[in-house]
Amino acid sequence: MSSAMPPAHPTPDAAAPTAPPVAATRPHERVFHGDVVNDEYEWLRDKEDPETLAYLDAENAWTQVRTAHLAELRQQLFDEIKAHTQETDLSVPTRVGDYWYYGRSIEGKEYGISCRCPVDSPDDWTPPQLDATTEVGAEIPGEEILLDSNELAEGHEFFSLGGASVSPDGTLLAYAVDVVGDERYTVRVKDLRTGEVLGDEITGVLGGGTWDAEGTTLFYATVDESWRPDKIWRHRLGSPVEDDVVVHHETDERFWTGVGRTRSDKYLVISSGSKTTTEFRVLEADDPTGEFRVVTPRRQGVEYGLEHAVIGGEDVFCILHNDGALDFELAVMPVTGTDHEAWTPLIPHTPGVRLEDVDAFAGHLMVSQRSDGLTRVRVLPLGPDGITDDYLMEFDEAVFTVGVGANPEFSQPSVRIGYTSLVTPPTVADYHVADRTTEVRKQTPVLGDFDPAAYEQHREWATAADGTRVPISIVCKRDVPRDGTAPLLLYGYGSYEASMDPWFSIARLSLLDRGAVFAIAHVRGGGEMGRQWYEDGKLLKKKNTFTDFVACAEHLVASGWTAPDRLVAEGGSAGGLLMGAVANLAPDLFAGIIAAVPFVDALTTILDPSLPLTVIEWEEWGNPVADPETYAYMKSYTPYENIAARRYPPILAETSLHDTRVFYVEAAKWVARLRAVTPEHHDILLKTEMSAGHGGVSGRYQAWHDRAFSYAWALDRMGLAEVAPS
């Protein structure tokens, strides 16, 4: 299928460079704990400096030169993604109040369209079977277009729709947009009865807004100069924004704050949290001008989550906490309680069973948990006297990911769940608690000749240097040999207790169908194996993340899955830090490394409290400003600090100019120094999106082009650039 979009990466013209750019060096001294460091590329931090922009442009031009031979392959990959994707589609409708809400995508359009249609009756809980090919607003009874993001994006190089929240009575829509990529949104309100966008316009908002019970008041969060969400505001609809009131100011620089409303619609909730400690405040949603009250005061090192439930006829708060419970336990407390001594265990702590979330409904509780490296869902039906049962939902595949999906209604009798695996496309189903049956509502279509039976997935375990067993998830075509000849892309992350659970990818089929293997290294620092897995990959144990990844790569080579001359590694953000670290640790183990928005200059960032999120991050990485041991430890592993004159594999570093989470300068400095110590190395590349943020380009077609660029580079490093899919 040919592309309807212009090529995202045109072939360089005759004026293209013939040698890689060389960044100027400028003295920039810093001194911490007696250690004097000259950071000669720190000048690249000034993105207003014409020399900085010129350098980034020169790097982009060089990347185009070194990848020009892949232009046709990039187009092929884009076309394959497009051909496998049902471009005109719609999501499974979700009921909220008197309407079914759903999203549409239209062939040829970059962005989605948000719609709704009325329910047939108050007892209608079966989603309507809507025809995705029906013209918007044409034949679906009562269909309304809430937002067309394609219209909102007109005239902007970047567009992101943040939070969109309908008022409880269904008449107003508060929505947030970002047209820069810096994640600072503007909130507007649309009257769904008239289509008019009201005069209320709130700028500098993080995410979106939360309505009170009457739909007359919006609560929202703003950030401070270091991009920390620190204030919650109250806005009365129709009043000047200048009159908005701060209802909570989080003054502890380690904490961030946010606001929401419980599923029961009874409470407004303000959350405050650091990396290790949380606290919640609540207010009845029908009393928006009242005072928020603390549920349980914060205690250093104690994390808890809050969910309103009705158990045995009594209003309670479900408290998921780690007080004396490493992998968390579920407790309940009276809604009037104010102390942790009021917490009564409901699901006691079980080591190795990490409780991650609880969703409360009128007739049941759903607990999301994980054990043995897999996600699970536990069901707790409720009767007049409380919980009547407790069991796990069962699934057939050995490797899978399952989770509770969008379930906005407290009284709904079924629960929407999401399921996927490395070979199973994302599946949306409704689980009927009363009879324990699952009804599949939709599985993401994969067009063309896709047959899940043609692929196989595996779970293997590598052994780290300290004897720890590290899980690896693997997917490949069934005919892939195990003699070391197969190319392989190994993905990793390993920070913030974020789990890289197995997921299906249409774009990945282009790798698998050319004979490549895809694997995920579930390294320490993530949350795949419980809270201890995370604790053993942070602070002064951070190096376990990197050595685990190397152990996984070595296992895949030793067990015949691949060989170093065809093994490519990939990771992004904190996973980009992982990529930079393994490039220093084991450069001969990889044929190429893809580092997306990489956190490779971590020490410089964590040393500067004025930078976005730095103080918050001290509980993840340590505080090198105050602690000489942390400083020395971080300096011993951060990629930028440990570049040396050694053989590096080809590296593709991808970043975005407007990223507020990991600044573009980290990748730019890293590449500049890498090239300085290996000047003859022409395949260390920097690609900077000049109109994007942390998530990369906006728009699905541009995102496909972006993925095609990365995968074409990876296939080239694997020796598969000339191989056709089969």
142: nearest Cα among 168, 118, 170: 118
User: CB of 268 within 8 A of CB of 256?
Assistant: no
Predicted confidence band of residue 466 (pLDDT cuts 50, 70, 90): very high
Within-domain flag for 418 = no
Q: Which residue has the higher pLDDT, 519 or 694?
A: 519
Residue 692's pLDDT is: 59
Which of these ranges, 146-150, 154-158, 550-554, has the smallest mean pLDDT?
154-158
- 3-state percent breakdown (helix, strand, coil) of the chain, nearest 5: 20, 35, 45
Residue 696's pLDDT is: 56
pLDDT score of 706 more than 60? yes
Phi, psi of 640 (to 5 degrees): -65, -40
Q: Measured at the alpha carbon of residue 655, what is the angle toward residues 687 and 584, in degrees to the nearest 5?
A: 90
Q: What is the pLDDT of residues 371-394, one digit of tens each?
A: 999 999 999 999 998 899 899 999
455: nearest Cα among 511, 499, 500, 402: 511
Within-domain flag for 259 = no
Predicted confidence band of residue 695 (pLDDT cuts 50, 70, 90): low
Residue 183's pLDDT is: 84
Residue 694's pLDDT is: 60
Predicted confidence band of residue 8 (pLDDT cuts 50, 70, 90): very low
Which domain CATH number covers 652?
3.40.50.1820
pLDDT score of 579 more than 70? yes
590: nearest Cα among 449, 496, 492: 492
Within-domain flag for 661 = yes
Question: What's the mean pLDDT when you consider all of the chain?
Answer: 94
Residue 9's pLDDT is: 37
Sequence-distant (≥ 6) Cβ neighbours of residue 76 within 8 angstroms: none
Q: Any idea which residues carry the catalytic annotation? A: 573, 659, 694
User: CB of 78 within 8 A of CB of 705?
Assistant: yes
As a whole number of angstroms, the distance between CA 588 and CA 648 comes to 7
Torsion of CA 537, 541, 545, 550, to 10 degrees: -150
Within-domain flag for 278 = no
pLDDT score of 65 more than 60? yes
Sequence-distant (≥ 6) Cβ neighbours of residue 122 within 8 angstroms: none
Q: What is the pLDDT of residues 282-314, one digit of tens each?
A: 999 999 999 999 999 999 999 999 999 999 999
pLDDT score of 237 more than 90? yes
Mean of the pLDDT values across residues 156-181? 93
pLDDT score of 13 more than 70? no
Among 105, 130, 154, which residue terminates a domain?
154
Among 112, 134, 154, which residue terminates a domain?
154
Mean of the pLDDT values across residues 535-557? 98
Residue 242's pLDDT is: 96
Q: Please state, for a pLDDT cut of 70, what percent of the chain lies above it.
A: 97
Sign of CA dihedral 130, 135, 139, 143: positive
Residue 132's pLDDT is: 81
Q: What is the pLDDT of residues 589-604, one digit of tens each?
A: 999 999 999 999 999 9
Residue 587's pLDDT is: 97
Within-domain flag for 553 = yes
Mean of the pLDDT values across residues 625-642? 98
Predicted confidence band of residue 639 (pLDDT cuts 50, 70, 90): very high
User: CB of 249 within 8 A of CB of 231?
Assistant: yes
Q: What is the pLDDT of residues 96-134, one digit of tens each?
A: 999 999 999 999 999 999 999 999 999 999 999 888 888
Predicted confidence band of residue 10 (pLDDT cuts 50, 70, 90): very low
Within-domain flag for 396 = no
Within-domain flag for 138 = yes
User: What are the beta bridge partners of residue 386?
Assistant: 383
Mean of the pLDDT values across residues 347-356? 97
Within-domain flag for 528 = yes
pLDDT score of 7 more than 50? no
Mean of the pLDDT values across residues 386-412? 94
Residue 260's pLDDT is: 97
pLDDT score of 5 more than 50? no
Q: What residue type is assigned to position 388 of the chain? A: T
Mean of the pLDDT values across residues 127-147? 84
User: What are the beta bridge partners of residue 229?
Assistant: 223
Angle between helix 543-558 and 574-585 (nearest 10) = 60
Predicted confidence band of residue 137 (pLDDT cuts 50, 70, 90): low
User: CB of 706 within 8 A of CB of 672?
Assistant: no
| Count of domains observed in the chain | 2
411: nearest Cα among 357, 335, 358, 360: 360
The string of DSSP codes covering 562-610 is: --GGGEEEEEETHHHHHHHHHHHH-GGG-SEEEEES--TTHHHHHT-TT
* Residue ranges making up the domain that contains 128: 89-154
Among 135, 154, 173, which residue terminates a domain?
154
Task: Calculate the CA 498 to chain-centre distance.
Answer: 9
